[in-house]
Structure 1
Amino acid sequence: KVVLDGNHPLAGMALVFTCTVTAIRPASAEEIEHGHVHGGDDDEEGCH
């Protein structure tokens, strides 16, 4: 008998993330109009 479990090893576990906000900036008029962030350091396409 073979059992294949495709779930991630952490599936079903309670996870707690601790983080620190290091910087904030005001939203641009375009971001406010569209309701989401545009661009960013890690975003090559400029939109999610």
Structure 2
Amino acid sequence: MTVKAVEGDNVVVDANFPLAGQDLTFEVEIVEIRAASAEELEHGHVHGAGGHHH
């Protein structure tokens, strides 16, 4: 978060990520592939090592 202006009792902040709106390119290496768990298939998304919290 960046403070953009202080105007009396008001503060204007920018909460956008600094790279918002930028095109980013990544090189990745896939090191492992695993089958989805039954719970992941049921929920329609991946769960991390500690399960899910939503």
Figure out how many residues of one structure are paired with residues of the other and give that number. 40
Q: How far apart are residue 11 of structure 1 and its match?
A: 4.2
- What are structure 2's unaligned runs of at least 5 residues? 5-13
- Give the alignment partner of residue 41 of structure 2, picking from 27, 32, 41: 32
TM-score by length of 1: 0.55
Give the secondary-structure state (helix, strand or coil) at the position aligned to 2:39: helix
RMSD: 2.2
> Counterparts in 2 of 1:1-48, with a 5 A limit?
4=4, 6=14, 8=18, 10-40=19-49, 44=50, 46-47=51-52
Give me the whole-angstrom Cα distance separating, in 2, the residues matched to 1:11 and 1:38: 26
Q: Which structure's CA Rg is the greater one?
A: 2
The answer to which structure has the higher strand fraction is 2
TM-score by length of 2: 0.50
Q: How far apart are residue 13 of structure 1 and its match?
A: 3.3
Give the secondary-structure state (helix, strand or coil) at the position aligned to 2:23: coil
- What are structure 1's unaligned runs of at least 5 residues? none
Letter in 1 for 2:48: G
% identical aligned pairs? 56
